[in-house]
Amino acid sequence: MPIRREIYKGIKDIPRQEYLAGGTGLCAGCGGLLALRLFHKALGPNVVFVNAAGCLTLLAVFPFTPFHSSWLYTAMASAPAGAQGVRDALDMLIAKGRLSKDENLKVVVVTGDGAAHGIGLQATLAAIHRGLDFYYFCYDNEAFGNTGFQMSPASPFGSRTATTPVTSATPGGTATHKQDLFKLWEAQQPAFVATVSPAYPLDLMDKVARAGQLTGPKLFISLAACPPGWGVEPAESVEIAKLAVDTGVWPLKEVCDGKVVHTVRPHRFRPVEDYLHGQTRYHHLFAPVRQEEILRQLQHDVDRYWAAADADAGEVDNRLATVRA
Amino acid sequence: MTRELLTGNAAAAWGARLAEVDYIPVYPITPQTEVIEALAQWVAEGTLAARLVTMDSEHSMLTAAGAAAATGARVFTASSSQGLVYGLEMLYTIAGWRVPLVLLNVSRALAAPITLEPDHNDVLAARDSGFLQIHAESCQEVLDSVLMAYRLSEHADVLLPVLVNLDGFYLSFTREPVELPSVEEVREFLPPHKAAHGFSASHVLAQGVAVLGGTGYSFFKYQMQRAAEAALTAHDAIAGEFCRRFGRCYGAVESYRLDDADWVIVMSNSFSTVGKEEVARLRARGEKVGLLRLRLIRPFPDQEIEWLLGDRRAVAVIDQNISIGKGGILFSEVASALRGRTPPPLLSFIGGLGGRRFRSEEFDTIMAALHAAENDGGSVEPTLLYSEAEYRQMMEMLRIAQQGSASTPEK
């Protein structure tokens, strides 16, 4: 059952106030930046971002910053530990009366999938384990985008990256399957965990607002189209993000009372191929020959996911028939 | 002021307690554990108003420490050996943030092979990070150095983190009488922390931002170099005030029977106590020898060392570390401090690795080498202190191990 939106019900509910100035040095059409902009709108002012190495590190380049809020670059492995230090210090300074309560800040980790899944996973799981009161925002462009799009644990099966190239010996590109970060987090029962997409701004912002009422780890993974890495035009990045949701590849969900709830469920799922077609990182699946086995596998993975999700939600599943029709 | 019998570790914990720190991120490693256990006990029972958080690694521990300091808290943390090098990345980052904090390192040798006893390759691996370094000889000096380190770190001209070093086992677990100043006495010397900058709603701050191109990068690194140079002057002033208030005086270096010495042995940390004993023994034999203990390793007090060593007949540096392929790290440092004049013959000895004890005979050898060096300038290669008996002992153990495996009964 879809979740009722509580705060952001229509596009006009999105505040016009910007907290992230335009004209940054990031790539045009960066899905991560778009999601972060919406994320910040929902958080409002009085935020400190604690950043791990990644594309968004290049938002603040001395002596300029697009943020109307504070920023601390830490290192690739330990941004959640940095958030711990900032949170604890603010708490102690307020408790000791050296900082007034209205000087308090929301502490937000900003990291890419490379740091979130691999080098930074230990620090992240530890921060969740400690029950740290913080937001964690992962922009998932499904590779190490900042270094030229090498494979990360978030790279999907069948995609091409700079380190999983397509050759006659490896015609399928990435042979491993995307690591399920949502499940890794969910297993630790944080205060809030959700997936979001810049193509669904109301869903994104409403989740941030709902999470804001909770104390503890509040985790968000946003699919983030990477025009240079995915091989899409900057102008297409929102469309491609929407296709990811509409084909069922990127399920929008959150954990509510220990149960995964899908917040957006397409009425008619489009075939996964519709999503893959437009991206050069999947071109090898279609030309020079169609790689039927891999395409079947990708569709099967999505079908299986939603069948399990629907069964879990206790809903009648007539979707597969719809897709095949 | 009270007087108690404390280990080096307990003295370090007392330093943090008397500094009234706000925040202590921790991760245990032998032989440092006693420090954080003492602090955890005090925080739990409410005698220390700080938050103590057990982190998932030294890397995270140091990140949290630096981030809390960047927010405006007074921070203490401690590590050792593998832990320090595991967090090494963050030492550079924290120093670059220009935030004050005190990191205690309980020296322990580095793997491989893994061991528990001390030498200084761990702490000297952090030598170039931007952390200032104070190396203590006694339990009392550990406590005093922690207090002085906060003054130095928070000094407006410095704003660099400080590492206080003590030797594992030899000092960490040795009990000595330690004078504990009262909280009031310490407060007069070390007032409550007021951060130069931090994160808050009314103070938007971008910290640790990227720079593109060498111009920006060099600007920040040169500022750190200038701050470290200023720390030399600041340390003298802080040490002078500490001396007046508490009656214990610590220079950047310590001179032991150096006034009329023709020959000098240079050492650091707790093994200097052994060195002083040996100097006293050699003095009794008529040798005009003295000891110079290096205390402030960063910033390195070049001028003072040049002034103290420049006119001696010969100098020997004993390193408890080894830069593989080069030799003693402190030897190179002392040699570079003497570059401004015709230096005395300078000898390099390496010993005490992994807690190996020095022998009196070795100091006799060093003394003889100093005499010889006056005439022939001495060897340029380091002398690796290792006895024939030790070598035979190792061979004997290997023989027994091989015999044991050869005699394993077949199934």
Helix (H, G, I), strand (E, B) or coil at A194: strand
Is A126 at the interface with chain B, CB within 8 A? Answer: yes
- DSSP label of B200: B
pLDDT band at A320 (very low <50, low <70, confident <90, very high): very low
Suggest the residue from B57, B62, B71 to mutate for an interface test with chain A (most A CBs closer than 10 A).
B71
A 5-34 residues inside an 8 A Cβ radius of B: none
The closest alpha carbon to B73, from B85, B84, B65, B81, belongs to B65
Instruction: Give the span between the Cα atoms of A275 and A249, in whole angstroms.
Output: 8
Is B326 at the interface with chain A, CB within 8 A? Answer: no
Is A58 at the interface with chain B, CB within 8 A? Answer: yes
Beta-bridge partner residues of A222: A139, A196
**Residues B174, B7 contacting (CB under 8 angstroms):** yes
Is B46 at the interface with chain A, CB within 8 A? Answer: no
Question: Residue A4: is its pLDDT beyond 70?
Answer: no
pLDDT band at A1 (very low <50, low <70, confident <90, very high): very low
pLDDT of residue A6: 80
Strands A106-112 and A70-73: unpaired
Instruction: Give the span between the Cα atoms of A3 and A263, in whole angstroms.
Output: 5
Question: Residue B106: is its pLDDT beyond 50?
Answer: yes
Query: What's the mean per-residue pLDDT of chain B?
Result: 96
Neighbours of A23 (CB within 10 A): 7
DSSP B120-181: SHHHHHTTTSS-EEEE-SSHHHHHHHHHHHHHHHH-TTT---EEEEEETTTTTT--EEEEE-
Say whether A96 and B71 touch across the interface (CB within 8 A): no
Say whether B205 and A71 touch across the interface (CB within 8 A): yes
Taking CB atoms and an 8 Å cut-off, how many pairs form between chains A and B?
161
pLDDT band at A319 (very low <50, low <70, confident <90, very high): very low
Is B215 at the interface with chain A, CB within 8 A? Answer: no
pLDDT band at A317 (very low <50, low <70, confident <90, very high): very low
Residues of B whose CB is below 8 A from A99: 72, 200
pLDDT of residue A325: 37
Question: Residue A315: is its pLDDT beyond 60?
Answer: no
Helix (H, G, I), strand (E, B) or coil at A50: strand
Helix (H, G, I), strand (E, B) or coil at A258: coil
- pLDDT tens, A111-121? 999 999 999 99
The alpha carbon of residue B209 is apart from the nearest alpha carbon of chain A, in Å, by 6
Is B51 at the interface with chain A, CB within 8 A? Answer: yes
- pLDDT tens, B156-202? 999 999 999 999 999 999 999 999 999 999 999 999 999 999 999 99
Residues of B whose CB is below 8 A from A89: 22-23, 67-73, 75, 198
Query: Measured at the alpha carbon of residue B56, what is the angle toward residues B54 and B62, in degrees to the nearest 5?
Result: 80
Question: Residue A316: is its pLDDT beyond 80?
Answer: no
φ, ψ of residue B392 to 5 degrees: the values are: -60, -40
Residue of chain A nearest B25, judged by CA positions: A85
Instruction: Give the span between the Cα atoms of B241 and B236, in whole angstroms.
Output: 9
Question: Residue B225: is its pLDDT beyond 50?
Answer: yes
Strands B51-54 and B23-26: parallel
Residues of A whose CB is below 8 A from B72: 89, 93, 98-99
Instruction: Give the span between the Cα atoms of A60 and B154, in whole angstroms.
Output: 27
Instruction: Give the span between the Cα atoms of B142 and B161, in whole angstroms.
Output: 16
Mean pLDDT of B95-104: 98
The contacts of residue A34 (CB under 8 Å, 6+ apart) are: A198, A224, A237, A238
- pLDDT tens, A280-306? 999 999 999 999 999 999 999 999 999
The contacts of residue B305 (CB under 8 Å, 6+ apart) are: B253, B292, B294, B334, B337, B338
Is B397 at the interface with chain A, CB within 8 A? Answer: no
**Residues A246, A269 contacting (CB under 8 angstroms):** yes
Is B53 at the interface with chain A, CB within 8 A? Answer: yes
Helix (H, G, I), strand (E, B) or coil at B210: strand
The closest alpha carbon to B282, from B290, B292, B273, belongs to B290
**pTM for this one?**
0.96
Say whether A103 and B201 touch across the interface (CB within 8 A): yes
pLDDT band at B404 (very low <50, low <70, confident <90, very high): confident
Distance set, CA B189 to CA A38, A89, A304, B148 (Å)? 49, 23, 68, 9
The alpha carbon of residue A126 is apart from the nearest alpha carbon of chain B, in Å, by 6
pLDDT of residue B341: 73
A 236-265 residues inside an 8 A Cβ radius of B: none
Question: Residue B93: is its pLDDT beyond 50?
Answer: yes
pLDDT of residue A2: 52
Say whether A85 and B23 touch across the interface (CB within 8 A): yes
Tokens of B306: 């040049």
Residues of A whose CB is below 8 A from B51: 88, 91-92
- pLDDT tens, B367-402? 999 999 999 988 889 999 999 999 999 999 999 999
- pLDDT tens, B338-375? 987 788 999 999 999 999 999 999 999 999 999 999 99
Is A71 at the interface with chain B, CB within 8 A? Answer: yes
Residue of chain A nearest B89, judged by CA positions: A75
Question: Residue B150: is its pLDDT beyond 80?
Answer: yes
Suggest the residue from B26, B61, B63, B207 to mutate for an interface test with chain A (most A CBs closer than 10 A).
B63
Is A105 at the interface with chain B, CB within 8 A? Answer: yes
pLDDT of residue A158: 98
Is B231 at the interface with chain A, CB within 8 A? Answer: no
Residues of B whose CB is below 8 A from A73: 207-210
Instruction: Give the span between the Cα atoms of B133 and B236, in whole angstroms.
Output: 14
Tell me the Ramachandran region of residue A29: left when phi exceeds 0, alpha when psi lies from -120 to 50, beta otherwise. Answer: left
The closest alpha carbon to A26, from A17, A35, A15, belongs to A35
Mean pLDDT of B205-217: 95
**Could you give the strand order of the β-sheet that contains B296-298, starting from the edge strand earlier in sequence?**
B76-79, B102-107, B162-167, B132-135, B296-298
Is B72 at the interface with chain A, CB within 8 A? Answer: yes
**Residues B36, B80 contacting (CB under 8 angstroms):** no
The alpha carbon of residue A69 is apart from the nearest alpha carbon of chain B, in Å, by 6
Nearest by CB: B210 against A58, A75, A122: A58
Is B61 at the interface with chain A, CB within 8 A? Answer: yes
Nearest by CB: A70 against B49, B75, B206: B206
Mean pLDDT of A56-72: 95
The alpha carbon of residue B75 is apart from the nearest alpha carbon of chain A, in Å, by 9
Nearest by CB: A46 against B67, B69, B201: B201
- pLDDT tens, A185-209? 999 999 999 999 999 999 999 999 9
Distance set, CA A295 to CA A157, A274, A292, A299, B317 (Å)? 10, 11, 5, 6, 69
DSSP B73-108: --BEEEE-HHHHHHTHHHHHHHHHHT---EEEEEE-
pLDDT of residue B339: 86
- pLDDT tens, A79-116? 999 999 999 999 999 999 999 999 999 999 999 999 99
The alpha carbon of residue A233 is apart from the nearest alpha carbon of chain B, in Å, by 27
The alpha carbon of residue B196 is apart from the nearest alpha carbon of chain A, in Å, by 13
